[in-house]
Amino acid sequence: KADELIALVLEKGSHKFEWVHLKSNNEEFYVEITLTNIKSETDNLIHVIWRDITESKKAEELLKASEAEGWSLFEEAPYPIWVNDSSEIKNNFNKLIKNGVTDIRTYLDKNPDEIKKMANLIKVKKVNKSSLVFYGVQSEDELFRNISDFFVTESYDSFKEELIALFEGKLYYKSELLIRKLNGQLAHIVVTASVPEIYKDTLEKVIISFVDVTEQKRNEQTKEILLNISKQISDVTSVESFSAIV
């Protein structure tokens, strides 16, 4: 191995790599080694720099473990979660600002077609298992192919509010949205959009999660209908009672 490294350095002039060594107590430690070929009139000298990177390697391993745990939580979450890339929307915002737009609500009210155009700029990077179950699809590809079919006319009203929140630099937004599943059924969902701090200037990652409140909305509507019926019956009864008294 050493002969191969020396040959590589002589050929390229320098080479950097990582190596695991053992201390006298048999404890492993990581080093970063940089080999540089120094040519003289009579010979080639190999200059060696060793740097202990054990702590950074441990931190890297902990980060990988943390990411793996976070990924597991994402995949197994009992509610749908999406990771969106909205950087093209951010680029569009920057163009609007450059053109003098400061009131995004007024702009979108006057240019409603822009809402749909910006919706098409979103790139869905990843969804979890619960998202596939909710929409009734078998794979991400199937979901991505049908994204435009999930929006109904009312959906764009809620999406407009999300655009306004993002334009104003808000990192958190919550709203109610009406969508359509692939089977044609309408569903009411409460959507939460969260922008990680490190992506606030680019919107490269926007975390979308939502909860299905269709049953709750249906119960509320049923309750409202029953209350109206009860009120009508009460009004009729009151009139009849009054007539009887008269």
Q: What is the pLDDT of residues 166-187, one digit of tens each?
A: 999 999 988 888 888 888 888 9
- Please tell me whether the overall predicted TM-score, pTM, comes out greater than 0.85 for this model: no
pLDDT of residue 103: 95
**First-last CA distance in the chain:** 112
pLDDT of residue 242: 41
CA distances for 220 relative to 157, 215, 226, angstroms: 21, 9, 10
Supply φ then ψ for residue 78, to 5 degrees: -75, 0
pLDDT of residue 49: 85
Hey, what are 43's tokens?
A: 């010979």
Low-confidence ranges of the chain (pLDDT < 50): 236-239, 241-243, 245-246
